[in-house]
């Protein structure tokens, strides 16, 4: 491991020597990092990696951050980096991997996720958006909703129904869609925060080449499950102690003696311990995933994150109630990137309400944990075994 570590650091230093981050454009630096195999070192060679252990990514990130190098734009392209990339790696053809991974990593192409629909949110397998074959293309019609960042996206991961004559999980296919197609219409959805970070997306006669189908026809649910598991790891995983909401509250507590009471100290300590336990659990999960894809355990990570985020943002308001009445701007804003931590406590409290919905509702994730992790009896599903076309809607 030490030899590998030294080799990785030598490669990082060569990258810094040939591409000075103080004068190299961020997009160019990230492209060079990808070409050097330092984007995701656990990815294969030629696809942004070196085929090494996932754990070595932290060494790369630390050395580059210390040199002031730009990192991938997670705020703008989190769906691409955290969800599309591992799914394309797992199921994509060599041509798809070469075509999409590099511009995804540099954020030359921003991605969004076209999964949820007005009638298929928690029950994702009930999507009704249709994809009908037409020669070597597919024609897609339908509506998607709660699409984060669609107004900034050039590409999308899409789940659509290709066979309504079979049970709902079996009739789905997964596609990579061009958001610049003239049949794609994006409309903003205003949230309780006043922003419109989410969208509804209408698909009218959108053409998708069969070469942009990810996985086999009818295996969309299997591909989508990989995406969802990676999403839940990305949402629920903090890598540093006191990262995220708990760090903001702990910092306020240390800086401002006026907010300290015994009751609030007890509450802060409780959630500090909860957040740290979740962080350590996430680290163990990432170590277990070094040679594979996330499993259903990722649902527990995301479930814990949502509960903690809502409780901790509520605690932040208890520390400074008057700050919860302040708000930057109640007019509708179309943010380029989601900013969950760089805002006031009032915004963070309101935004955290969505954490138990996005990436799978907490109720659904409890079912996943109960059935697929703990092995408890499955919940009754009246549409099980019925062709999708015959399911009452």
Question: What is the DSSP track for 190-223?
Answer: --TTSB--EEEEEEEEEEEEGGGEES-TT-HHHH
Q: Which residues pair with 202 in a beta bridge?
A: 143, 185
The C-alpha atoms of residue 325 and residue 305 are separated, in whole angstroms, by 25
From 55, 71, 87, give the residue that closes a domain.
Answer: 71
- β-pairing, 184-189 vs 155-161, is unpaired
From 71, 101, 120, give the residue that closes a domain.
Answer: 71
Residue 38 is part of which domain span? 1-71
pLDDT value, residue 1: 43
Domain count, the chain: 2
H helix intervals, the chain: 2-18, 26-35, 57-66, 74-79, 85-91, 94-105, 220-236, 245-255, 262-288, 297-319, 345-351, 362-368
3-state secondary structure of 268: helix
Q: Is 237 exposed, middle or buried (0-12, 13-18, 19+ CB in 10 A)?
A: buried
Asked if 338 and 78 touch (Cβ cutoff 8 Å), the reply is yes
Which segments in the chain show pLDDT lower than 50? 1-2
Residues annotated catalytic, as ranges: 231
From 71, 87, 107, give the residue that closes a domain.
Answer: 71
Asked if 355 and 341 touch (Cβ cutoff 8 Å), the reply is no
pLDDT in tens, 82-104: 999 999 999 999 999 999 999 99
Within-domain flag for 92: no
Within-domain flag for 251: yes
Residues 6+ apart with CB under 8 A from 87: 157, 174, 214, 223, 226, 227, 230
Within-domain flag for 276: yes
pLDDT value, residue 384: 81
pLDDT value, residue 2: 46
pTM, two decimal places: 0.85
pLDDT value, residue 361: 84
Within-domain flag for 59: yes
Within-domain flag for 146: no
- β-pairing, 111-114 vs 198-209, is unpaired
Sign of CA dihedral 117, 119, 123, 128: negative
CATH of the domain at 287: 1.20.140.10
Within-domain flag for 258: yes
Residue 374: Cβ within 10 Å count:
10
């Amino acid at each position: 491991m030490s030899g590998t570590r030294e080799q990785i650091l030598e490669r990082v230093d060569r990258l810094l020597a040939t591409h000075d981050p103080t004068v190299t454009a961020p997009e160019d630096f990230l492209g060079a990092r990808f070409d050097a195999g330092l984007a995701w070192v656990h990815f294969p060679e030629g696809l942004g990696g070196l085929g090494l252990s996932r754990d070595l990514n932290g060494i790369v990130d630390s050395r580059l951050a210390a040199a002031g190098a730009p990192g991938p734009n997670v705020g703008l392209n989190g769906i691409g980096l955290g969800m599309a990339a591992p799914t394309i790696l797992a199921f994509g053809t060599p041509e798809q991997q070469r075509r999409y991974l590099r511009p995804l990593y540099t954020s030359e192409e921003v991605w969004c996720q076209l999964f949820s629909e007005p009638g298929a949110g928690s029950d994702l397998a009930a999507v009704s958006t249709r994809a009908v074959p037409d020669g070597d293309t597919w024609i897609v019609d339908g509506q998607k909703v709660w699409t984060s960042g669609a107004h900034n996206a050039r590409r999308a991961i899409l789940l659509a129904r290709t066979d309504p004559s079979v049970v709902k999980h079996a009739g789905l296919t997964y596609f990579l869609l061009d958001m610049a197609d003239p049949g794609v219409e994006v409309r903003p959805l205003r949230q309780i925060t006043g922003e419109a970070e989410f969208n509804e997306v209408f698909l009218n006669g959108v053409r998708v080449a069969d070469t942009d189908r990810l996985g086999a026809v009818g295996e969309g649910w299997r591909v989508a499950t990989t995406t969802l598991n990676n999403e839940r790891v990305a949402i629920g995983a903090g890598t540093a102690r006191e990262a995220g909401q708990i760090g903001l509250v702990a910092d306020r507590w240390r800086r401002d003696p006026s907010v300290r009471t015994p009751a609030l100290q007890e509450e802060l300590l409780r959630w500090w311990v909860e957040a740290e336990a979740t962080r350590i659990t996430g680290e163990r999960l990432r170590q277990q995933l070094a040679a594979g894809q996330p499993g259903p355990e990722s649902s527990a990570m995301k479930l814990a994150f949502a509960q903690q985020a809502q409780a901790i943002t509520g605690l932040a308001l208890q520390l400074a109630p008057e700050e919860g009445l302040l708000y930057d701007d109640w007019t509708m804003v179309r943010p380029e990137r989601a900013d969950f931590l760089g805002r006031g406590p009032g915004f963070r409290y309101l935004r955290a309400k969505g954490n138990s919905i996005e990436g799978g509702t907490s109720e659904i994730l409890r079912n996943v944990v109960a059935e697929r992790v703990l092995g408890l009896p499955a919940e009754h599903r009246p549409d099980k075994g019925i062709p999708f076309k015959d399911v009452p809607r």
